[in-house]
Amino acid sequence: MSKALVKRSSGGGSGVVPAVASALLPGVGQLVNGETEKAIGVFAVYAVAGAGFIGAIPILGWAAGLVAGATWLYGVADAYVTGKKK
């Protein structure tokens, strides 16, 4: 039985729903695809890097911004590719 939040018919999905969900909030696309542990990891990295970028955590802002951007991009791409495979 699948743990995915969105049920799909057999065959390849479009991957658009998870990608859009992950673009709005990193990690949600992985959650839609049923990858809970990966969703928590993507969200945690994005949240910490984002907090560093805005100055809530005193680390290099530009480096944290790069990490946050890379994590966002990874989350969207991974959600799309995984959704396409399911």
Q: Provide the residue ranges of all domains of the chain, joining segments of one domain with +.
A: 36-85
Instruction: Read off the pTM.
Output: 0.79
Predicted confidence (pLDDT) per residue in 41-82, tens digit:
999 999 988 888 877 777 677 888 899 999 999 999 999 999
Contacts (Cβ under 8 Å, ≥6 apart) of 50: 64, 68
Could you count the other beta carbons within 10 Å of the beta carbon of residue 63? 12
Q: Would you state the pLDDT for residue 1?
A: 45
Q: What is the pLDDT of residue 47?
A: 92
What per-residue confidence (pLDDT) applies to 51? 85
CB 72 within 8 A of CB 49: no
pLDDT at 23: 95
The pLDDT of residue 59 is 63
